[in-house]
């Protein structure tokens, strides 16, 4: 497998982590969830660290599902290494002699912020089809001048097409854009492109 995709499981775990963080200020340090053994805590910690490190290792900057968003690429190195750093720091707890549940809970709390920074910049849907239409639309828009002669368009048409491209780029770059919204944005921009092309002077 060349790429491990970001899943809702990671989001759910991070939500749980944030709850742990909130509970820590009002709970006793050694308070635990009833019914869970130390071995279960250790196993869960090990599985979580292994899974998340694999997600980070497979992540690249791009527009496919599971890719780190291009618009935030300047943060790619900082966010990926920052998350791996806290995961690695907690890994020794898995084999530590006499490790406590309290230590494991505290380790999970350290994942919350770095994990959020990384995961909120990872795409949950493939928006390559949208990028594939945005690029030629931008080229067409840039090459078409405002005017009344052949090959030119009115300012109104230019403004409308520019706005349509900007809207499509917003959808493309948003981490939470789902597949249905990608398809809708592609259709909308394609329609705007046809209107713009029809407005070009012959």
Name the residue among 45, 50, 61 with its Cα closest to residue 84: 50
Q: What is the pLDDT of residue 6?
A: 42
pLDDT tens for 36-51 read 899 999 999 999 999 9
Residues 90-99 pLDDT 10s: 999 999 999 9
CATH assignment, 128-199? 1.20.1270.90
Share of the chain above pLDDT 90, in %: 82
Residues 6 or more apart whose CB falls under 8 angstroms from that of 202 comprise: 150
Q: Which of 96, 135, 93 is nearest to 110 (CA)?
A: 93
| Per-residue pLDDT reduced to its tens digit, 115-161 | 999 999 999 999 999 999 999 999 999 999 999 999 999 999 999 99
| Annotated domain spans of the chain | 8-119, 128-199
Block residue for tokens 């869970």:
36
Paired with 61 in beta bridges are 68
Q: Let me know the angle formed at the C-alpha of 109 by 104 and 115, rounded to the nearest 5 degrees.
A: 120
Other beta carbons within 10 angstroms of residue 44's beta carbon come to 14
pLDDT at 15 (0 to 100)? 39
Q: Is the pLDDT of residue 2 over 80?
A: no
Enter the pTM of the model: 0.76
Region 180-193: mean pLDDT is 98
C-alpha gyration radius of the chain: 24
């Amino acid at each position: 497998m060349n790429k491990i995709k970001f899943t809702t499981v990671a989001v759910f775990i991070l939500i749980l982590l944030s709850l742990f963080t909130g509970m820590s200020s009002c709970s006793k340090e050694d308070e635990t969830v009833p019914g869970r053994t130390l071995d279960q805590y250790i196993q869960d910690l090990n599985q979580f660290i292994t899974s998340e490190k694999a997600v980070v290792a497979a992540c690249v900057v791009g527009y496919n599902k599971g890719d780190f968003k291009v618009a935030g690429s300047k943060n790619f190195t900082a966010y990926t290494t920052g998350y791996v750093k806290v995961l690695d720091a907690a890994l020794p707890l898995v084999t530590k002699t006499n490790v406590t549940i309290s230590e494991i809970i505290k380790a999970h709390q350290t994942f919350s912020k770095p994990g959020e920074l990384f995961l909120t910049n990872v795409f949950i849907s493939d928006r390559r089809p949208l990028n594939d239409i945005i690029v030629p639309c931008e080229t067409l828009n840039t090459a078409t001048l405002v005017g009344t002669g052949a090959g030119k368009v009115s300012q109104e048409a230019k403004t409308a097409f520019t706005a349509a491209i900007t809207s499509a780029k917003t959808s493309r770059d948003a981490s939470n854009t789902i597949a249905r919204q990608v398809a809708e944005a592609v259709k909308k921009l394609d329609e705007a492109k046809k209107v713009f092309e029809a407005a070009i002077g012959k």
